[in-house]
Amino acid sequence: MAGYNHLYIPGPTNVPEQVRMAMNVCMQDMRASDFPDFTRPIFDKIARLFKNSTGRVFIYPSSGTGAWEAAIQNTLSPGDKVLMSRFGQFSTLWVDMATRYGLDVEVIDCEWGEGVPVEKYAMALKADKNHEIKAVFATHNETATGVTSDIKGVRAALDDANHPALLMVDGVSSIGSIEFDQDAWGVDCAVSGSQKGFMLPAGLGILSVSKWALEAHKTAEYQRTFFSFEDMIAHNDNGYFPYTPATQLLHGLNTSCDILLEEGIENVWARHNRLATGVRSAVDAWGLKLCAKDPKWYSDTVSAIVVPENVDARHVISRAYDVYNTSLGSGLAKLMGKVFRIGHLGWMNEGMVTTALSVAEMSMIDVGMDIEAGSGVAAAIRHFTDTSVQTGTKA
Ligand code: PLP
C-alpha cells in the first residue's frame, strides 16, 4: 500500500532514524581492548535515566520477561513469601511467573482498570510483624489496561510499616516515558525492556537494581546461570559480558539514551503527559470511556479505549490495519474485542498522535459506530494548541 505504515501499538514502538542508523554498524569484536570504551557509558546513561545513583544496571540479551526472571532469581529463594497484585494481563503474567518459581505468592486481585491497591498493601505489610514477606511486586504501568500505579505510595506503605521487603517494579512500559525515580521511590529491582520507552527493537532486558537488592543477592538461593548477577558483574566491571552481547542493540541503546538525555528526562515525561492528555480529550469527545477506572490511574503511555457492547473492537483494529495501514493495539485476554489501545509512547509527537486519532475515527465510523467525523481529532488539536505556548513548542 502507498504511504507509510503507522505503528501505534504500545511496544514495539517507533524507532528513530538516528537509532536505526546507529545500529547499522559492522560486526565487532566483543573482546577487543576498546570494547569497554563503548559499553561503559551505556551503563551510566541507563542509571541516570532510571535515577539509580547507588546500585547498578544489568543489560541482558532478552526481552522484558527475562529481566522479570532475573530479578526473581537473583534476589529471592524458593518458598519466599511475596506480595503481588493482579489487574491486567502483564501483572497476571508476573504472578504466574512467581508461582511457577515456587514463591509463596499472596495475590491481591483487583478489577482490570484499577492499579496497585496501595492501602491493601499497607495493611498486609503492617500485619506482617515477623517480616515473612520478602518482596513486594508492583506493575508500574499495566500496558493491557492503560493504568499507571503509585509506586511512591507503595514505598510509603513499606516505610510506614518499617518493613524490609524488597520493592520489585515492572517498568517495562513506563521507564523512559513517564515519571520514574528509583532512588527516591526506593525501588530495589526496576525492570524494563528495549522496545518501548527506549525506542529500540525488542531484544534487551534492562534491570536496574539498588544496593539492597545486591545485598539480598548474597543470600538468594535460586540456581541461576544466564541471568546470574555474579557472572554479569564479573564481566561488566571490565566493560565486557559473560556471553555474546547484542552489540547492534547496544549501539542503538547508546543513541536512544543520548536522545532521551538530550531532551531531558523530565521533558520526556511532560511530552508524554501532553500527548496522552490529547488522546484522552479525543476519547471524551467521542463519548467513549477508558478502561482505566479513575483519572488517578490514567496512563501517559497507552490508552485502552472501551467500545460499546454491540461493537467488536477487533473489527476497528482490523479496519485500521487493512484499510488505513495503521496498527492499533488489541485488547488482551479478557479485554479482547472490548477495547482497542493506542500506544502514545516513545518517539512520538502531536502530528503522530493526531494521525492515530484520525485513523481510529475513520475505522470506528467504518464499522458503524456513532462517532462524529473529526470530533476527537478536533479535541486533541485544541488541547495541543492551547498548551503549545507553555511547553515552548510555539514561538
Ligand atoms: N510488563 C509489561 C508492563 C509489558 O507491557 C510487557 C510487554 O509488553 C512485559 C512486561 C513483557 O515484556 P517483553 O514482551 O519484552 O518480554
**So what's the pLDDT on residue 292?**
98
pTM of whole model > 0.95? yes
Mean pLDDT, residues 13-35? 98
- How much distance in Å is there from the Cα of 172 to the middle of ligand 1? 6
Q: Which atom of ligand 1 is nearest to the CA of 67?
A: 16
Q: Mean pLDDT throughout 42-67?
A: 98
173 lines ligand 1 (CB under 6 A): yes
Q: Given the CA of residue 140, which atom of ligand 1 is nearest to it?
A: 3
**Does the C-beta of 63 come closer than 6 Å to ligand 1?**
yes
The fold adopted by the segment(s) 18-262 is Aspartate Aminotransferase; domain 2 (3.40.640)
Report the pLDDT value the prediction gives residue 10, as an integer from 0 to 100.
98
Minimum CA distance residue for ligand 1 atom 12: 64
Ligand 1 contact, 331 CB (< 6 A): no
- Ligand 1 neighbourhood includes 172 CB (under 6 angstroms): yes
Residue-wise DSSP of 299-348:
-SSEEEEEPPTTS-HHHHHHHHHHHHSEEEBPPPGGGTTTEEEEE--SS-
Cα–Cα nearest to 168, from 260, 266, 74, 89: 74
- Residue whose entry in the numeric block shows the C-alpha cell 482490570: 112
Q: Which helix (H) or strand (E) holds 99?
A: helix 89-100
Cα 267 to Cα 143, 177, 263, 272, 391, distances in angstroms: 22, 10, 6, 9, 9
What is the pLDDT confidence band of residue 31, given thresholds at 50, 70 and 90?
Answer: very high
Give pLDDT, residue 395. Answer: 42
Q: Is the peptide bond before 164 cis (omega within 30 degrees of 0)?
A: no
Q: For 77-87, how does the pLDDT look when each residue is reduced to its tens digit (9 = 90+)?
A: 999 999 999 99
The mean pLDDT of 258-275, rounded to a whole number, is 98
Look over the chain and give the mean of its residue pLDDT values, rounded to a whole number.
97
| Ligand 1 nearest-atom number relative to CA 141 | 3
Res 390 pLDDT > 80: no
pLDDT at 393 over 60: no
Name the CA dihedral angle for 263, 268, 274, 277, rounded to a multiple of 10 degrees: 160
Q: What is the CATH number of domain 6-12+264-387?
A: 3.90.1150.10
Mutate to test the pocket of ligand 1, among 173, 194, 204 (most ligand atoms within 8 A of CB): 173
Check whether 338 has a pLDDT greater than 80: yes
ipTM, 2 dp: 0.99
pLDDT in the model for residue 1: 81
Query: What residue spans in the chain does CATH classification 3.40.640.10 cover?
Result: 18-262
Average pLDDT over residues 240-246: 98
Residue range(s) of every CATH 3.90.1150.10 domain in the chain: 6-12+264-387
What is the percentage of the chain residues whose pLDDT exceeds 70? Answer: 98
